[in-house]
Amino acid sequence: DSGVTQTPKHLITATGQRVTLRCSPRSGDLSVYWYQQSLDQGLQFLIQYYNGEERAKGNILERFSAQQFPDLHSELNLSSLELGDSALYFCASSPRGGDQPQHFGDGTRLSIL
């Protein structure tokens, strides 16, 4: 158990819809990362937050947004969903960000029908 909690484990929805994925980092970790894992693109970094502030952006689409709340949990919002958004979405956390080891949650599997 990494200590990173992601909910829900599975989501099934339709094209055009909007969903919210939730992540609680390990106790004491201030930094949260979001990744997308798909068969054709591999594991792609989306965005990082540190203590409530956005720190780095990767290959995140404009239809996607995220935030980190004062209690340090984070949410990833995906809107106007397309079939190609079907993937595993992982959250990871680390104590202070930077290049410290990241610990991953078990992911949310998103299926778009």
Partner 1 sequence: GEDVEQSLFLSVREGDSSVINCTYTDSSSTYLYWYKQEPGAGLQLLTYIFSNMDMKQDQRLTVLLNKKDKHLSLRIADTQTGDSAIYFCAATSGTYKYIFGTGTRLKVLA
The residues binding partner 1 (CB under 8 A) are 2, 4, 33, 42-43, 45, 48, 55-56, 58, 90, 92, 97-107
- C-beta closer to partner 1: residue 15 or 32: 32
- C-beta closer to partner 1: residue 92 or 110: 92
Nearest distance in Å: CB 80, partner 1: 26
Nearest distance in Å: CB 45, partner 1: 6
Residue with tokens 């029908």: 113
Cα dihedral sign for 39, 3, 77, 79? positive
- C-beta closer to partner 1: residue 24 or 48: 48
CB atoms within 10 A of CB 62: 7
Nearest distance in Å: CB 110, partner 1: 14
- C-beta closer to partner 1: residue 79 or 88: 88
At position 104, the amino acid (one-letter code) is F
Give me 16's structure tokens. 């055009």
Q: How many CA atoms lie within 13 A of 25 on its CB side?
A: 28
What is the rounded distance in angstroms from the CA atom of residue 64 to the CA atom of residue 77? Answer: 6
